[in-house]
Amino acid sequence: MDAPGTLHHVMVRGIEKRLIFKNDRDREDFIDRLGQIIQEGHGKCFAWALMPNHAHVLLRTGPTPLARMMRRLLTGYAVSFNLRHQRSGHLFQNRYRSIVCEEDAYLLELVRYIHLNPFRANLVKDIDGLDRYRWSGHSVLMGRGHGPWQAKDEVLSYFGTTEKVARSRYRRFVSEGIGLGRRSDLSIGNAGLKGAKVGKEKGPRGDPRILGQAPFIEEVLVEADRYARERVLSRGRPADVDGLLKFITQEMEVTREEILGRSRRREISEARSVLCYVCLRRLGMTGTQLVEMLQMSSGGVHTASDRGETFMKENADFERSLRSYLNN
């Protein structure tokens, strides 16, 4: 459930409900790390809020998987926090919790829900106090905070074509949410299937890791099943790049030298994209290995992989031939 472009509502909590932020230096450290990781992972952050013992983040992943981003964020922050406060041991409860969200239906509701957390936690008294609260993305959207890595313009674009009008309408939207209560359905998933059973029950499947309507939940679960099967097929297999290159050159009628070169001709670029996709998604190679092999940037490798995935979806005959090759 971690394909590029997926919207995630991520929650992290202190172990035994202990503080994970004791002072502003802690908060600044966490936000600096979050911003850097989102930018380096080519993701987008739409909302965030820091409370004393937990934090919420709403982000859309890029080519870097959420698990890798969060591991870097939480491990780096925990080490820094422990050094600052002369403590040892675990800081966070488990790793983190994330819910895959249906973007069209829930993006703005989640932005409002997350940004109202400081109000509901009694850290601020009213919407004016929320405007001034430094430790949430709401202040950035209101022009009072600084967060160049936050997708401010994308959120405000839903509310108006000029920044002044958009901010006014967005603020009204958030204020109206105060009367809606805590909206626990936005933090537990499965909102589209209230009462649905998880498992082998008949009818639409439900899953507490997903927030969306029935068709979206089914689509995410089917894709997760497909990905799991591919991981099983590729587990333990060496990345036979030479054999794969030979297969691609024969199927796509290009040469090995052309694929490994820098030509941008469409047919060569497609072959290179297929190579990136198969190596990353099917054979378990790392982006670093491909960067070294193809002399491309990390972002270029992952962008090519995305194009390769699109090519595979649009060329069923090639997909069948590739599956046959990989399974032999």
Report pLDDT for 226: 64
Summarize pLDDT for 194-242 with one digit per residue, the tens: 444 444 444 455 677 899 888 888 888 877 766 655 554 444 344 578 8
- Pairing, β 97-101 against β 44-50: unpaired
Q: What is the mean pLDDT of residues 133-145?
A: 95
Kindly give, in sequence order, each residue whose CB lies less than 8 Å from that of residue 49, ignoring residues fewer than 6 positions away. 55, 56, 114, 115, 117, 118, 135, 136, 137, 138
Q: What is the C-alpha to C-alpha distance for residues 24 and 27, in angstroms, rounded to an integer?
A: 5
Strand bridging mode 210-211 / 97-101: parallel
Average pLDDT, the chain: 87
Which SS3 state, helix, strand or coil, does residue 99 take? strand
The pLDDT value given to residue 188: 67
Upper half-sphere CA count for residue 53 (Cβ side, 13 Å): 8
The side-by-side arrangement of strands in the sheet containing 7-13 is 44-50, 54-60, 7-13, 97-101, 210-211
Kindly tell me if the per-residue pLDDT of 112 is higher than 90.
yes
Of 230, 211, 314, 328, the C-alpha closest to 270 is 314
Domains by residue range for the chain, with CATH: 7-188 (3.30.70.1290), 191-232 (no CATH), 237-327 (1.10.1750.10)
User: pTM for this structure?
Assistant: 0.68
CA distance 128 to 77: 30
pLDDT in tens, 79-95: 999 999 999 999 998 77
